[in-house]
Amino acid sequence: MASAKNQTVGRMSPRQKMINLMYIVLTAMLALNVSSDVLNGFSQVEDGLSRSNRTITARNMALLAQLQEFNNKNPEKGKVWLDKANEVRRTTDELYDYIDSLKLEIVRHADGPEGDVKNIQNKENLDAASEVMLAATGGQGGALHKRIDAYRNYIISFIDDSAKRANLEQALSTAAIKTAAGGEISGKKWEETMFENMPTIAAVTLLTKLQNDIRYAEGEVLNQIITNVDLGDLRVNLVDAFVVPQSRIVMRGTKYSANILMAAVDTTQRPIVYVNGHQLTNDRGLYEVGTSAAGNFDYAGWIEVVGRDGTVTKRDFRSSYTVIDPLATVSATMMNVLYAGINNPISIAVPGVPESSISATMTNGSLTKGAGGWIARPTQVGAECVISVTAEMDGQRTNVGSTTFRVRKLPDPMPFIAYKDDKGNTVRYKGGRPFPKATIMTARGVDAAIDDDMLNIDYKVLSFETVFFDQMGNAIPEVSAGANFSERQLTAIKRLQRGKRFYISRVKATGPDGIQRDLAPMEVIVN
């Protein structure tokens, strides 16, 4: 039989050989479909989530330390709550460490025994996550599913608030994923939608996000435990005088304000407050004093409250405040840098000074003030621009500070095809997914813009090429008519069959900064 099979292969026609070769090429193209930009985006998300996990962990440790401190002061009442908190921490750590082991196993499947989660080499590997999580024998996806379900049920048992319970149930949900259209169940298990054909870096990022969710859930439970402890008991048992300033640092020329009160006093019996030997003239304990010079200032006094039996309770207090010279705050509304050639919104404020009394100038560009705030328009890329602020106070104009910004070139925009959806809204198709041929034929051409939620800047497309492939795999380029599709391009698109694709490349565009740019290519899949 083997001989017969080899003979059959040997008689394969040249056409069949060509079809097989094209299939191999298509498979390779599909494997390369995940761009390096997308993979790098996952890496940035992974780094951000890891930093967030460290922050949440530190916050939760601070809550545990607070419970430990309460237990040290009142073991009889605090031990039961501290034990519950430690149990929550142990349970969370076990699941967190288990997910860490899954991330390491996936990376080592992709990169080998020396693989490092912090330095993934084969980020685009589509097999590692499926092999570790979905293998028929030894797959970890089902086990992770069950452990998350058990952890979710355990965690929500501590939460009394129905809204918080619902939030945690949603954050730790392992329900079957629904499709976007019609809300129908996709038929896949939770673990399949999470890890099937998922690039290694994407699977690791999803697991890190899951760790973020369980740390968040742990923090909600610790907060609930602290609420149950009622740490306010310590304050009620300790009757003393307190000074509550609105701020310990004030600007010269403004007022320093502080509320002076005694904890756990009867609100029907107002205390009498003395500051520096003088009784306050109001019954709210509000102490105000003018500030004419910068520096540190101390004050002291006592509070007297009369009990129902006529006895007087007296508590001393001491506090201080700092007076500083006026300072301006200058910040970029969008980010910590300015971009050349465009309007950069700037926020300029001086505490205690109205906007009408504030003036500002800028080097390396222009700075103007409008109804919505300040607009900075720098000119030279790579150079610094300095924004200097002055304010009118007490009839005199004073220099209150300056801030230096770096000037950068605008990032490259993304090309797209604009079209109208069923509701008449303009939608931007950026490639990588099926696109109806009829919609393409009605589109004007190719546009470009930066629309990353921080910048929203349109670019003018000067020209582009489309690249089609014939049945032999030969590339056939066609040149556009400026930003519009040419007749030859539209004819080639019209001939494409369902499932075929073409590429838009060599896109040249200019933006408000006047710099001509060559943009990244775009893949269009005809539906």
User: Confidence class of residue 8 from pLDDT cuts 50, 70 and 90?
Assistant: very low
How far is residue 403's CA from residue 342's CA, in Å, rounded to a whole number? 19
The pLDDT assigned to 35 comes to 56
Q: Look at residue 246 in the predicted model and tell me its pLDDT.
A: 63
Q: What's the pLDDT score for residue 250?
A: 59
Phi, psi of 386 (to 5 degrees): -115, 125
Q: What angle do CA 51, 54, 56 make, to 5 degrees?
A: 110
SS3 content of the chain, % helix, strand, coil (to 5): 35, 30, 30
Q: Give the Cα separation of 281 and 289 in Å (integer).
A: 13
Average model confidence (pLDDT) for the chain? 81
Return the closest-CA partner of residue 265 out of 242, 248, 286, 287: 242
Q: Do 239-324 and 329-408 agree at the fold level?
A: yes
Question: Which CATH architecture is the domain 329-408 placed in?
Answer: Sandwich (2.60)
Paired tokens of 312 = 């007087």
| pLDDT tens string 55-95 | 999 999 999 998 898 888 888 888 889 999 999 999 999 99
Closest CA to 92 of 224, 222, 206, 225: 222
**CB atoms closer than 10 angstroms to residue 127:** 14
Q: Where are the domains of the chain?
A: 2-29, 36-232, 239-324, 329-408, 414-526
Q: Give residue-wise pLDDT tens across range 22-58.
A: 444 444 444 445 556 656 666 777 778 888 888 999 9
Give 238's DSSP letter: S
pLDDT attached to residue 44: 76
Fold of 239-324: Immunoglobulin-like (2.60.40)
Q: Coil, strand, or helix at residue 307?
A: coil
Concatenating the DSSP letter of every residue in 191-231 gives HHHHHTT--HHHHHHHHHHHHHHHHHHHHHHHHHHHHHHTT
Q: List Cβ neighbours of 356 (8 Å cut-off, separation of 6 or more).
A: none
pLDDT of residue 327: 63
pLDDT tens figures, 208-232:
889 999 999 999 999 888 887 754 3
What pLDDT does 349 receive?
84
**3-state secondary structure string across 52-105:** HHHHHHHHHHHHHHHHHHHHHHCHHHHHHHHHHHHHHHHHHHHHHHHHHHHHHH
Residue 32: name the closest of 123, 156, 162 by CA. Answer: 123
